A = this chain, B = another copy of it.
Amino acid sequence: MNLVQPGELAMFQTEGGKRVILRLEPGMDYQTHKGIIYHNDVIGRAWGSRIETHLGSPFTLLRPTLRDLLLHIRRQSQIIFPKDIGYILLRLSVGPASRVLEIGTGSGALTTALAWMVGDEGKVVTYERREDMQMLARQNLERVGLENRVDFVLSDAIDGIFESGFDAAFLDVAAPELVLNPLKPAINSGAIVGFILPTTNQVSTLLEAGVEHGFDHPDVVEILLRAYKPIPGRLRPVDRMVAHTGYLVFMRCMARSA
């Protein structure tokens, strides 16, 4: 059976697309401006059911997808968008039992996706130099129950990376070229490393530094997502879209002797 259990994450979604994600706990309630949803009324219902507030306002009861979770990260900084994260996962070849290094935890959006994909056998080690950001990211991971797959390191990776043996790494920092030196011994030879950078100048600087530090096969891409109004008889793109999040750069770490 596919019924909602206590302790599960649930998403309440309105017809208009507004959403809230929370963990269901017996006896608790959720206040919307259209009335109260009692968790007890939700627990035991089928996923995909239509539920109502005590004032009769309708919501759909859904299990949040990974993308839903990513969009609901509490953030103090720009998060990496799902359109980019999906592609990053493929490029980094993240999957069950992967060991991944992340430099720049930020609010923890990519950390969440990495933790989701590596499973209980895998591990994400993530560096962040700002304590407030790390705390926020940790809370975001705890909220979705993925914190035990993550090692949070409060340190600037420029000062050294204390683990090694990673097959993939991702850097979301302003000057990743400064981290290439400590990065190299931390990752396996041949490992793939990804970067996200907002400006073209940063991309140029990184590409130049990459060659100097023995990284090769660079690849630079940008991903654009265009949404459509899902109306069968009047199908058309929405009026506005995100024009830019960042350039994605990927390189391979060459073997020292190579």
Contacts and interface: CB of A to CB of B under 8 A. Distances in A.
Interface of A: 2, 13, 17, 45-50, 60-63, 65-67, 70, 82-83, 85-93, 95-97, 113, 116-121, 165, 167, 188-192, 198-201, 203-205, 207-208, 216-244, 247, 249, 252-258
Contacts of A67: 90-91, 93
Contacts of A46: 189-190, 255-258
A167 B63 contact: yes
Nearest to A244: B237
A235 B95 contact: no
28 contacts: A2-B165, A2-B189, A17-B217, A46-B190, A46-B258, A47-B188, A48-B258, A62-B217, A65-B91, A66-B95, A70-B90, A82-B87, A86-B86, A86-B90, A95-B96, A200-B200, A200-B203, A200-B236, A201-B204, A201-B233, A218-B230, A220-B227, A220-B235, A222-B226, A223-B224, A227-B243, A239-B242, A240-B241
Per CB-CB distance, the 9 closest pairs between chain A and chain B, nearest first, are A47-B190, A86-B86, A48-B190, A96-B119, A241-B243, A237-B244, A200-B200, A220-B228, A65-B93
A205 B217 contact: no
B83 A95 contact: no
Dominant secondary structure of chain A at its interface with chain B: mixed
Given A48-B258, A65-B90, 6 more contacts: A17-B217, A50-B258, A82-B90, A119-B119, A208-B232, A221-B227
B252 A48 contact: yes
Contacts of A254: 48-50, 60
B226 A204 contact: no
Nearest to A228: B220
A200 B204 contact: yes
Name the residue among A17, A49, A66, A189 with the largest chain B CB count within 10 angstroms.
A189
A217 B60 CA distance: 9
